[in-house]
Amino acid sequence: MAESLFYLLIFPGITFQLVCGWFFEWFDRKLQARFQRRVGPRWFQPLADLLKLFSKEDLLPSGANEFAAAALPLISLGAVLTAGVYVPIAGFSPASFEGDLIVIIFLLSVPTLAYYLAGIISAGIYSVLGGGRSLLQFFSYEVPLLIALSGPAVMAGTWSIREISSIQAEMGPFVLFQPIGFILAVVGLIGKLKRSPLDIPKAKSEVVAGSLTEFGGVKLAIWNTVMNIQAVVGIFLLVNLYSSWSGIVAPVLAVPVFFLESVLMIFVLSAASAVFARLRIDQLAGLGWKVLVPLALLQLLVVILMGV
């Protein structure tokens, strides 16, 4: 019982994920500031922002569904925290089981659907518009992302993330065999996190903050926490599926190498946000179905032929 509580509340559970989420937000903002020749925030800024939001008054516009507005961020937080428990950390996963990859993919989709509903129930024009955009974006990136995440599972012959990670100790990192799949997975993660250049649902110059325009106080603090933890879980997932060195390097180096690769992934996401301009929703839809989906299917076909 004590061991289960430790896994749930400390590592790799709530406390560990919250700390990683705060680190991701700080490091991401720091990198983007450096790319733009700014200083960037201090290390405690994400926690200070969270405490500030918790101290603010929580208001909603007239006509908004108050119960749904309170439930949606909590449901999303529960989904991403649960997903984080199943993702191995340098080969360690106390809750691993066959098929956990499918469960994590489903759990990471919950915040996206909740984000759409948050816009619909907020009764604000910018919120409704942001919610509609988020759903259109979801259909554009989710299919190539699912195919890209399926490639390592097909190659390893298992849907267990820990098994996929351990098999790479014998075959080598899967990114060497599936470079296109890895790139598509990164693009899909950017779309899932609604980061530039795929921050279409919350374009500040057009729809203010999208679905979260009318949210403030505690609710907005929870939504921000959800986004940070979702980013961390997504990064850890990609590292396990495509670039796992935990079984290749010496055991004492497994943890440092894992977190170094995760930091490099944050660098890639930050660089993409700083370098590329935001796409229009029609451009993303065309890119997703005319380019990304065919490339994902081609990569999956290559993986199947390699197995044959």
Domain spans of the chain? 13-307
Which position has the token pair 């440092």?
256
Residue 280 has pLDDT above 70, yes or no: yes
What confidence tens digit (pLDDT) does each residue in 151-177 have?
Answer: 999 999 999 999 999 999 888 899 999
Entry pTM: 0.95
What confidence category does residue 308 fall into, taking pLDDT thresholds of 50, 70 and 90? Answer: low
Neighbours of 33 (CB within 10 A): 15
Cis-peptide, bond into residue 12, ω within 30° of zero: yes
244: left (phi over 0), alpha (psi -120 to 50) or beta: beta
How many Cβ atoms are within 10 Å of 126's Cβ, its own excluded? 19
Average pLDDT over residues 122-133: 86
pLDDT, residue 105, reads 95
Condensed to tens digits (0 to 9), the pLDDT of residues 52-111 reads 999 998 888 888 889 999 999 999 999 999 999 999 998 888 889 999 999 999 999 999
Task: Supply φ then ψ for residue 92, to 5 degrees.
Answer: -95, 120
Residues 6+ apart with CB under 8 A from 245: 168, 173, 254, 257, 258, 261
Structure tokens at 285: 């839809």
| Mean per-residue pLDDT of the chain | 92
**pLDDT tens digits along 13-55:** 999 999 999 999 999 999 999 999 999 999 999 999 999 999 9
Residue 89 φ then ψ, to 5°: -115, 105
Q: To which residue do tokens 């925030």 refer?
A: 41
Q: Which residues lie below 8 Å from residue 168, measured CB to CB, with a gap of 6+? A: 156, 174, 244, 245, 247, 248
Q: How do residues 204-253 score in pLDDT, each as one tens digit?
A: 777 777 889 889 899 999 999 999 999 999 999 999 999 988 767 777 78
Nearest CA to 76 out of 43, 109, 104 is that of 109
Q: What's the rounded Cα separation, in Å, for the pair 54 and 107?
A: 26
